[in-house]
């Protein structure tokens, strides 16, 4: 184990198996939050087995797969803790927030949970969790108006060979075909030391917590340094599909953005605040208020670490406006927005970005998320603490570049829902 004290409050631990931990001591907090990030996600799902990473995440919480009597979910909640997990394209993350005086118990439970869980992956547990995932898919996507829009975007934007083509939730047919052995193999191959990062923030007893953190890191087996291939950004031409919908019309534009490890991704995110955040969002102002072409505009960013990130623009056409007219109006609006950028626009975008950064700092969980991401991408947590200053120094040229990243009429996905 190698330890590096970053500053008085921050400790970085590197275990001999390659796993890392960041501990940020915040005296005065009554809670502590821990965040375990594993560098595996849906991009590691084999063809025909979409949803594997997500199913493993579920299995790790399954009652049937619990370690002895230490049923993790119930134990943490019985202590008043809050838990959740998330599988994305690149990561699987497990978070817990708990009273500061109970962090030690939570760490012990987490260590037990990740100690050879594959011995407890059973066909029955997998069957139950896959049914639950099917319900999750219905709840989040199939039973929501236009809920399959983003899935359609990634299916159109990325080529067949791309690991980012499918969403983490998986396709129903693939989920039905998953086996416990496959899930066990996924865990064994990908939940290895070099892929694991633990972040803890809040109030805790430092020496004891560092020992327990190391004990948790040590349960993961050794493995090769991740060498995940980086995909090239999808090139044009623009591809379009049309889907029927009983809910009326809606357009989803999927725009390839730079990988989230890049500074350009940060600029694209800053630009997304200018385009789509708040009542003064410029894209809404143009398409809804000025041109009357839309009744709703939303701008979202989905970061990807090893290939193109995805910018999604959702447009609801105004009555009598065709999707083609709306898309053309979007392109006109983007030209105008880029050419009319002002200092006030820059100040507003930076102010909103900075406020979002502060809000994330206040939240132990989101701070943990950022700390672990910076450590993984940049090998240090220092950039996290200087990021706000770096963004504050952004100038007009950089904002203009960020806005330009959103306008790719020759290389985007167009998903059109029509009544």
Interface region with other proteins, contact rule CB under 8 A, candidates 71-79, 260-268, 395-403, 410-418: 71-79
Interface region with other proteins, contact rule CB under 8 A, candidates 170-178, 325-333, 350-358, 405-413: 350-358
Using CB under 8 A as the criterion, what x/- string covers residues 300-339 for binding other proteins? ----------------x-----------------------
Query: Binding residue for other proteins (CB under 8 A) from 1, 128, 189, 411?
Result: 128
Which one, 56 or 305, has the nearer CB to other proteins? 56
Which one, 189 or 352, has the nearer CB to other proteins? 352
User: Nearest 5 degrees, angle CA 305-CA 306-CA 308?
Assistant: 85
Which one, 109 or 213, has the nearer CB to other proteins? 109
The span from the CA of 124 to the CA of 157, in Å, is 36
The span from the CA of 411 to the CA of 419, in Å, is 26
Which one, 96 or 309, has the nearer CB to other proteins? 96
By CB under 8 A, is residue 340 in contact with other proteins? Answer: no
By CB under 8 A, is residue 138 in contact with other proteins? Answer: yes
By CB under 8 A, is residue 84 in contact with other proteins? Answer: no
Whether 102 contacts 81, CB under 8 Å: yes
What is the helix (H) or strand (E) element at residue 18, kind and residue range?
none
The span from the CA of 56 to the CA of 32, in Å, is 26
3-class secondary structure, 304: coil
Site for other proteins, residues 88 to 117, rule: CB under 8 A: 97-99, 101-102, 105, 109
Q: What are phi and psi of 354, to 5 degrees?
A: -65, -40
Which one, 107 or 259, has the nearer CB to other proteins? 107
Q: Which residue, chain included where needed, has tokens 């009598």? A: 320
Which one, 145 or 390, has the nearer CB to other proteins? 145
Whole-number minimum distance, CB 261 to other proteins, in Å?
26
Which residue, 16, 2, 1, 8, is CA-closest to 221? 16
Query: Binding residue for other proteins (CB under 8 A) from 344, 393, 410, 419?
Result: 344
Biggest alpha carbon–alpha carbon distance for the chain: 66
Checking DSSP bridges between strand 20-25 and strand 239-244, what pairing results, if any?
unpaired
By CB under 8 A, is residue 85 in contact with other proteins? Answer: no
The span from the CA of 255 to the CA of 156, in Å, is 11
Site for other proteins, residues 201 to 260, rule: CB under 8 A: 246-247
The DSSP-derived string for 214-228 is HHHHTTSBP-PPP-P
Strand partners, 255: 311
3-class secondary structure, 312: strand
Which residues here bind other proteins, judged by CB under 8 A?
Answer: 30-31, 63, 73-75, 77-82, 97-99, 101-102, 105, 109, 127-128, 131-133, 135-136, 138-139, 142-145, 246-247, 277-280, 289, 295-296, 316, 344, 347-348, 351-352, 354-355, 358-359, 361-365
């Amino acid at each position: 184990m190698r330890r590096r004290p970053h500053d008085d409050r921050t400790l970085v631990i590197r275990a001999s198996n390659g796993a890392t931990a960041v501990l940020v001591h915040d005296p005065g907090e009554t809670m502590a939050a821990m965040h375990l990030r594993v560098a595996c996600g849906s991009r590691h799902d084999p063809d025909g087995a979409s949803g594997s990473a997500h199913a493993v995440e579920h299995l790790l919480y399954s009652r049937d797969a619990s370690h002895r009597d230490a049923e993790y979910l119930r134990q943490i909640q019985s202590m008043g803790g809050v838990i959740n997990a998330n599988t994305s394209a690149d990561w699987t993350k497990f978070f817990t927030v708990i009273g500061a005086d109970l962090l030690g118990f939570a760490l012990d439970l987490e260590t037990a949970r990740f100690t050879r869980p594959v011995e407890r992956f059973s066909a029955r547990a997998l069957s139950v969790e896959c049914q639950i995932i099917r319900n999750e898919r219905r709840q989040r996507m199939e039973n929501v108006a236009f809920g399959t829009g983003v899935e359609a975007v990634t299916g159109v934007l990325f080529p067949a060979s791309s690991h980012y083509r499918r969403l983490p939730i998986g396709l129903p047919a693939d989920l039905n075909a998953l086996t416990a052995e496959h899930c066990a193999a996924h865990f064994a191959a990908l939940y290895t030391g070099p892929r694991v990062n633990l972040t803890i923030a809040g109030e805790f007893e430092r020496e004891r917590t560092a020992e327990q953190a190391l004990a948790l890191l040590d349960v993961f087996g050794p493995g090769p340094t991740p060498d995940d291939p980086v995909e090239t950004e999808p090139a044009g031409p623009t591809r379009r599909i049309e889907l029927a919908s009983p809910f009326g019309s809606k357009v989803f534009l999927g725009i390839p953005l730079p990988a989230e490890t890049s500074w350009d991704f940060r600029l694209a995110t800053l630009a997304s605040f200018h385009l789509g955040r708040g009542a003064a969002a410029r894209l809404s102002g143009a398409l809804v208020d000025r041109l009357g072409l839309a009744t709703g505009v939303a701008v979202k960013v989905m970061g990807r670490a090893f290939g193109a990130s995805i910018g999604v623009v959702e447009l609801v056409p105004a009555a009598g406006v065709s999707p083609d007219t709306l898309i053309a109006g979007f392109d006109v609006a983007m030209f105008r927005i880029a050419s009319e950028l002002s200092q006030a626009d820059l100040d507003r975008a930076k102010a909103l970005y900075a406020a979002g950064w502060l809000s994330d700092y206040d939240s132990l969980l989101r701070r943990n998320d950022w700390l672990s991401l910076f450590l993984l991408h940049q090998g240090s947590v220092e950039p996290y603490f200087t990021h706000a200053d770096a963004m504050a120094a952004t100038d007009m040229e950089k904002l203009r570049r960020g806005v330009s990243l959103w306008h790719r009429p020759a290389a985007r996905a167009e998903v059109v829902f029509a009544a």
